[in-house]
Structure 1
Amino acid sequence: MKRITGLLWCILLLFGAAHVSAEDGGILEASYDYTDPAFRGVVDMLAMEGHSHDDLSSCNVKQLYYAEVAEMFNKGMTKDEILDYYIQEQGVQALLAPPGDGFNLSLWVTPFLLLLIVFILIYFLIKKWTKNSSRGRLAVEEELTLEDDIYSSMIEDERKKLI
């Protein structure tokens, strides 16, 4: 009786292992190459609801996005079609960086224009300050020469009195 029970357990274990290996084979065949440049190009452009910088192995949201994009590539969609799909679903917020056309172009240009304006203002302020400080030095030097002349004439007068 023990031998029959042991034999049944071995057969059950054998069939169970065969079933699991068949399922794993199906999953492995459906997986997608995550190192494909086209795939990386799409995934790197998506914000993934704020999870784009998380680790793939521990972030369920990022894994879901990777699986969706891989499935879209398997269906034959192009990079632009996939990005358009996400933009239609979530808006421009689906992308990490806004596209460089239309009103979004101002988002790219405005910071550089502001920096340029600030540098120009700083240049003119420094130029004005240096100009004013040189005028102040000349005025002080003129006062010192006038005082020196007065003191030297007083000293000459005193010296003449003593001689």
Structure 2
Amino acid sequence: MKRITGFIILFSILFGGISVSAESNVKNEFDYSNPEFQATVDMLSMEGHGNDDVASCSVKQLYYQEVAEMFEKGMTKQEILDYYVEELGVQALKAPPKKGFNLTLWVTPFLLIFLVLILIFILIKKWKKLTPALQTGTEQPVTDIETEIYHSIIEEERKQIL
């Protein structure tokens, strides 16, 4: 009985010491669920890996670690984004900034859609003016001469068939 008790005490001391030492070696990990952190990494393209899964993409994991270290150093979201734009250019961001020449990238598609809609509207109005006989209420009445011509054509066709 003394051996079993001694063995249990020795066993608990050994494994108790290991768990304490493991906890002391772990440094405080960064909170990756921080909204400001998530907003920052969501704006980065991460060399085309921005939409990959963090668990399986080593490039995205590296970016997460770099951004976490920058936040731990006290950098703000804008400073981090500016750092990546300075290092990698505007391609570091998922979407170009809405200023300067990049503003045309945001405005041009909507401007083109608006111009095409105006062009279609103008073309439809012109087509309506070119075909007045097809408009309702503006049909020209058939004269007697036209009626006789139609009847004679129909009679000729009927005679050929019979």
Do they superpose with TM above 0.5?
Answer: yes
Match of 1:96 in 2: 94
Unpaired runs of 5+ residues, structure 1, are 1-6, 155-163
Distance 1:41 1:123 in 2: 42
Unpaired runs of 5+ residues, structure 2, are 1-6, 152-162
Match of 2:71 in 1: 73
Match of 1:53 in 2: 51
Which amino acid in the other structure matches residue 73 of structure 2? K
Deviation at 1:135, TM superposition (A): 4.2
* Per-residue deviation, residues 30-79 of structure 1 (Å, max 9, x unmatched): 42111111101110100000001101111111111001000000000011
Where is the helix percentage greater, Structure 1 or Structure 2? Answer: 1
Match of 1:133 in 2: 131
Distance 1:64 1:22 in 2: 27
Indicate the SS of the match to 1:145. Answer: coil
Distance 2:148 2:99 in 1: 74
Distance 1:71 1:65 in 2: 10
Deviation at 1:129, TM superposition (A): 1.4
> Given the superposition, is the C-alpha separation of residues 146 and 37 from structure 1 closer, same or farther in structure 2, using an over 3 Å criterion?
same
Which amino acid in the other structure matches residue 31 of structure 2? D
* Per-residue deviation, residues 90-127 of structure 1 (Å, max 9, x unmatched): 00000000111111111111111001000000111111
Which amino acid in the other structure matches residue 37 of structure 2? F
Match of 1:86 in 2: 84
Query: Which of 121, 126, 151 is matched with 2:148 structurally?
Result: 151
Match of 1:160 in 2: none
Count of matched residue pairs: 138
> Given the superposition, is the C-alpha separation of residues 81 and 149 from structure 1 closer, same or farther in structure 2, using an over 3 Å criterion?
closer
TM-score normalised to structure 2 length:
0.72
Distance 2:139 2:63 in 1: 75
Match of 2:60 in 1: 62
Match of 1:111 in 2: 109
TM-score normalised to structure 1 length:
0.71
Distance 1:112 1:51 in 2: 28
> Given the superposition, is the C-alpha separation of residues 91 and 146 from structure 1 closer, same or farther in structure 2, using an over 3 Å criterion?
same
Indicate the SS of the match to 1:50. Answer: coil
Distance 2:110 2:25 in 1: 52
> Given the superposition, is the C-alpha separation of residues 21 and 58 from structure 1 closer, same or farther in structure 2, using an over 3 Å criterion?
farther
Question: Alpha carbon RMSD of aligned pairs, Å?
Answer: 3.0
> Given the superposition, is the C-alpha separation of residues 74 and 145 from structure 1 closer, same or farther in structure 2, using an over 3 Å criterion?
same
Distance 1:130 1:21 in 2: 86
Deviation at 1:133, TM superposition (A): 2.3
